[in-house]
Amino acid sequence: MAHKRLYSWLTLLLTLFSALAVAKNQVDGVRIWPSPSNTRVVFDMQDAPQFTYFTLKNPHRLVIDLSDTGKSLDFAKIQNDSKLIKRLRYSNAKDKNAIRVVFDLTEAVDTQIFALPPTAPYGNRLVIDIGGKSESVAATVKRSDQSENRDIVIAIDAGHGGEDPGSIGYAGSYEKNVTLSVAKMLADRINRTPGMKAAMIRTGDYYIHPNKRADMARQRKADLFLSIHADAYTTPQPSGASVWVLSMRRANSELGRWLENSEKHSELLGGAAEVIQDTANERYLTQALLDMSMDHSISTSYEVSREVLREMKQITKLHKSVPQAASLAVLTSPDIPSILVETGFISNPREEKNLNWAKFREDLADAMYNAVQRYFKRMPPDGTLWAQNKRDNRTHKVSAGESLSLLAQRYNVPVSRLKAANNLNSDMVRIGQVLTIPN
């Protein structure tokens, strides 16, 4: 009797081991990245996945068959904040050595599925992009080019996101988290300023292709596109902040060439579908550079970059004291002045610690805000409230012996209004300084 019982257990174990041996692949993890317009689901696989898929109606479902793959995860424990996916579950597979995964959906969707090879920090992946057919584009800032007294719109782009973590520090910090935090702080400062409006390109932890970021800024009628990043290099020694503008040629430094290659790496991490589809990038950039509006865009970008560097050097070391140039996808918009701010090297342990410090991120947001505000106070776009205010106000060049209180008395304006109109934090003025005199 004991021998029969032992024989039964051995038979069961052999059956289980046999089934596991045949299932060569397995799903190690599932990550769901919802965004306002779509959802990306990533299956982390042990080996390259072999898959087929189809959709069903009434109710809407997406069905994926993974061959030579064993069940290894409880999908009910996967965090799911997507508005498009009700739940993820197993169903009856085509054969015993495969698994069938079913996405129960809330509506009809557009679907794109593709496999990705290992790219640090990830291994083999199966990527499922699900876009809602009825979902409208994310809310935009309403503005007419003919409207008077409109807000100055600043498009704020938090670099990377979702499947693309960006650069990773020695302590494990993700660039995508640092950039989103600084972007939200900057947007808050801009939105509290009368006559200015922030348009966040990314509001959460999801990926947007660099080319689409510029398109979103255009949809929002942005007067400036400001992309926030944290630098990295192969060694921990480089440090300091920098500001980048579009180069009409190749990058003008070794670091610039590294940055261009890093951006291509990020596209593979988070935007492989777009990279596979978009074979016209070079043609688009060439045509964009021929656009006459590029001259204004580049000159404005350069001036804003100088203002940002002027502010940044007061709170951190600069890697380069003048604006740098590189061919970067987020800076290819011909009609919108665009800059990319590298807040520091996350690959440098000391600067990684700073970037994880909330007070330092607030200082970064203050620096960018002060720079952008100062530039647009001086050069407000036509049709904006600030342009109207500039036309309504007078100016005065400070001469020797003049003080703020003396000028307030001469022009019959309160000192507090003089200080507010010129962003002054004290009563001190310098010879040659041009002050705005409000009516």
Query: Which of 214-218, 248-252, 309-313, 334-338 has the least mean pLDDT?
Result: 248-252
In angstroms, what CA-CA distances link 199 with 85, 133, 182, 214, 246? 27, 24, 14, 12, 21
Distance CA 363, CA 352 (A): 15
- The string of pLDDT tens digits covering residues 131-146 is 876 544 444 444 444 4
- 8 Å CB contact between 32 and 41: yes
| pLDDT band at residue 202 using 50, 70 and 90 as cut-offs | very high
Does residue 257 register a pLDDT over 90? Answer: no
In a domain, 36, yes or no: yes
In a domain, 84, yes or no: yes
Q: State the number of CA atoms in the 13 A half-sphere of 86 facing the CB.
A: 13
What is the pLDDT of the chain when averaged over all its residues?
Answer: 83
Q: How confident is the model at residue 328, as a pLDDT?
A: 62
Average pLDDT over residues 303-329: 89
In a domain, 146, yes or no: no
In a domain, 61, yes or no: yes
Distance CA 408, CA 410 (A): 6
Same domain, 321 and 423: no
Query: Which of 164-173, 224-233, 386-395 has the least mean pLDDT?
Result: 386-395
Same domain, 178 and 313: yes
- The string of pLDDT tens digits covering residues 319-363 is 989 998 766 655 556 678 989 999 999 999 999 999 999 999 999
Q: How confident is the model at residue 341, as a pLDDT?
A: 94
Same domain, 170 and 248: yes
Assigned token pair, 235: 């060694």
Distance CA 277, CA 439 (A): 56
Average pLDDT over residues 89-106: 93
138: number of Cβ within 10 Å: 15
The order of strands in the sheet holding 196-200 is 196-200, 152-158, 224-231, 338-345, 242-246, 324-326
Same domain, 366 and 424: no
Average pLDDT over residues 68-76: 91
End-of-domain residue from the set 378, 409, 424 = 378
CA 280 to chain centre: 22
- Output 121 or 219, whichever has higher pLDDT: 219
- Output 12 or 284, whichever has higher pLDDT: 12
| Overall pTM > 0.85 | no
Provide the residue type at 387 as one letter. A
Specify the pairing of strand 25-34 against strand 69-70.
parallel
Q: How confident is the model at residue 239, as a pLDDT?
A: 92
- Output 11 or 301, whichever has higher pLDDT: 301
Same domain, 234 and 354: yes
Provide the residue type at 126 as one letter. L
Q: How confident is the model at residue 274, as a pLDDT?
A: 60
- Output 136 or 110, whichever has higher pLDDT: 110
Assigned token pair, 299: 């000159």
Does residue 408 register a pLDDT over 70? Answer: yes
Q: What is the CATH number of the domain that holds 367?
A: 3.40.630.40
Q: How confident is the model at residue 334, as a pLDDT?
A: 62
Going by the DSSP 8-state scheme, the letter that residue 398 receives in this structure is: -
Distance CA 209, CA 330 (A): 9
Same domain, 34 and 87: yes
Distance CA 368, CA 313 (A): 11
Specify the pairing of strand 242-246 against strand 324-326.
parallel
Q: What is the CATH number of the domain that holds 408?
A: 3.10.350.10
- Tell me the Cα Rg of the chain: 27
In a domain, 2, yes or no: no
Distance CA 254, CA 430 (A): 41
**Cα end-to-end span (Å), the chain:** 105
Range of the domain at 56: 21-132
**φ and ψ of 201, to 5 deg:** -75, -45
Beta bridge partners of 104: 61, 87
Q: At how many degrees (to 10) do helices 175-191 and 358-378 cross?
A: 50
Distance CA 308, CA 205 (A): 26
- Output 280 or 224, whichever has higher pLDDT: 224
Q: How confident is the model at residue 69, as a pLDDT?
A: 93
Q: State the number of CA atoms in the 13 A half-sphere of 349 facing the CB.
A: 2
| pLDDT band at residue 298 using 50, 70 and 90 as cut-offs | confident
Q: State the number of CA atoms in the 13 A half-sphere of 165 facing the CB.
A: 12
In angstroms, what CA-CA distances link 96 with 66, 68, 69, 71, 376? 11, 9, 9, 10, 65
Query: Which of 2-16, 36-50, 283-297, 317-331 has the least mean pLDDT?
Result: 283-297
- The string of pLDDT tens digits covering residues 115-129 is 988 887 889 999 999
Same domain, 188 and 223: yes
Going by the DSSP 8-state scheme, the letter that residue 107 receives in this structure is: S
Does residue 20 register a pLDDT over 90? Answer: no
- Output 277 or 226, whichever has higher pLDDT: 226
In a domain, 59, yes or no: yes
Distance CA 167, CA 159 (A): 10
Distance CA 172, CA 356 (A): 11
Query: Which of 134-138, 190-194, 206-210, 264-268 has the least mean pLDDT?
Result: 134-138
Assigned token pair, 224: 């400036």
- 8 Å CB contact between 436 and 405: no
- 8 Å CB contact between 194 and 130: no
In a domain, 413, yes or no: yes
Same domain, 90 and 123: yes
- The string of pLDDT tens digits covering residues 380-398 is 998 998 888 777 777 888 8
Does residue 281 register a pLDDT over 80? Answer: no
Same domain, 83 and 179: no
Does residue 318 register a pLDDT over 90? Answer: yes
Number of domains, the chain: 3
